[in-house]
Structure 1
Amino acid sequence: MGFTRYSGPASAFPGKETWKDFETIFNLNKAEMLRTGDSHQDVGRIWNAVVEAAKIGVEERVIFCIIMQESTGNVGVGTTTDPGNKPTGGLMQAEESPAFPGKHNLSQEQISAMVIAGTKHFKANLKQLDNADTATTIYRALRLYNSGSINENNLSDAKGATASYVSDIANRLQGRTN
């Protein structure tokens, strides 16, 4: 099933009642993670890391969908730069995240460190808004996470980042894979 394109304000994106549960989303994406070169152990450790990072105050399914959007769950993903030219790395391509380019069969500690760094960054975006666990706040925080700024009238206004970022994650939250 292909992705539906959403744009406009957060209210134009699908509500949480359309989102699948974490286990369903995770299972739908296992094969894609394994295709990156991840071992079955890496995939299991990603699950553990997401559950651990959720204690920071971000839903497991949101954390995991950011992982899939940023790195396809590839624990050995390389480092890139954000729109501000700062290096971003790890499963969630976050600033100050450890990265292990080209490596697989990582320890739980290494995988958790990547996911916790990205989750802390996303949580800071939530706090910058109203810190509510609502779809509209999450979508707005996703735009901040990807581009560092937000046009409240159009979450596809990427300011040099990925225009479809929020839309793609909305699709992932509904259980779609690309």
Structure 2
Amino acid sequence: MPFTSYSGPASNFPPKHTWKHFEEIFNINKPEMLQTGDSANDVGRIWNAVNEAAKKHGVEERIIFCIIMQESTGNVGVGTTTNQDHHGTAGLMQCMESLGFPGQHNLTQPQITSMVMAGTEHYKGNLKQEGDKDTADCIYKALRLYNSGSINEGNLSDGKGATNSYVSDIANRLQGKTR
């Protein structure tokens, strides 16, 4: 199913009751993760890391996982990139606070967990900035902050120099759609 383009305020994005369950989203995306060169063990360790980070930071598993898919397609060996402020971002969640393992696969559980913990902690800071509520409205705004560091509440597809479609893409992923 193709991605739908969402824009405008958070109220224009899909409500939580349209989101798939974590296990379903994860299973839909397994083939895409395996195509990156990830081993079955890497994929299993991503599952473990997402669950551990969700429990530790109080962030929904499906949000963490959809950020992973958006940022790295679940590729544990994803390269380090530079954001619009010229800061290096690394790891599964392409986070400034994360270590990366470019080109490597068959990583250990601690290596994968460290990447997911760093990204989840960064996202949680954005969620706190938006009221730390488990509502679609707060989540979508926190996603915009995660990607661009700033927010136009009237249009979450205004990337302010970052990826305009970021929040829309994750909204689609939460509904079980893939690229």
Instruction: Answer yes or no: same fold by TM over 0.5.
Output: yes
Residues 1:161 and 2:162 aligned together? yes
Displacement of 1:82: 1.7
Rounded to whole Å, the distance in 2 between the matches of 1:131 and 1:83 is 26
Displacement of 1:84: 1.6
Question: SS in structure 1 opposite 2:98?
Answer: coil
Displacement of 1:96: 1.4
Equivalent residue, structure 2, for 1:37: 37
TM-score (norm 1): 0.99
Deviations 1:140-170 (A, max 9, x none): 0000000000000000000110000000000
Deviations 1:72-92 (A, max 9, x none): 000000011122211110000
Equivalent residue, structure 2, for 1:148: 149
- RMSD between superposed Cα atoms in Å: 0.5
Displacement of 1:94: 0.4
Rounded to whole Å, the distance in 2 between the matches of 1:136 and 1:128 is 13
The aligned amino acid for 2:121 is K
Displacement of 1:171: 0.2
The aligned amino acid for 2:53 is A
Report how many residues are paired: 178
TM-score (norm 2): 0.99
Residues 1:103 and 2:107 aligned together? no
Equivalent residue, structure 2, for 1:6: 6
Rounded to whole Å, the distance in 2 between the matches of 1:51 and 1:177 is 21
Rounded to whole Å, the distance in 2 between the matches of 1:41 and 1:10 is 36
Equivalent residue, structure 1, for 2:123: 122
Rounded to whole Å, the distance in 2 between the matches of 1:129 and 1:143 is 11
Equivalent residue, structure 1, for 2:172: 171
The aligned amino acid for 1:156 is S
The aligned amino acid for 2:6 is Y
The structure 1 segments of at least 4 consecutive aligned residues displaced by more than 6 Å after TM superposition are none
Equivalent residue, structure 2, for 1:78: 79
The aligned amino acid for 1:167 is S
Displacement of 1:129: 1.2
- 5+ residue gaps, structure 2, are none
Identity of aligned residues (%): 74
Rounded to whole Å, the distance in 1 between the matches of 2:81 and 2:95 is 9
Residues 1:135 and 2:147 aligned together? no
Displacement of 1:12: 0.3
Equivalent residue, structure 2, for 1:93: 94
Rounded to whole Å, the distance in 2 between the matches of 1:78 and 1:53 is 22
Equivalent residue, structure 1, for 2:15: 15
The aligned amino acid for 1:49 is A
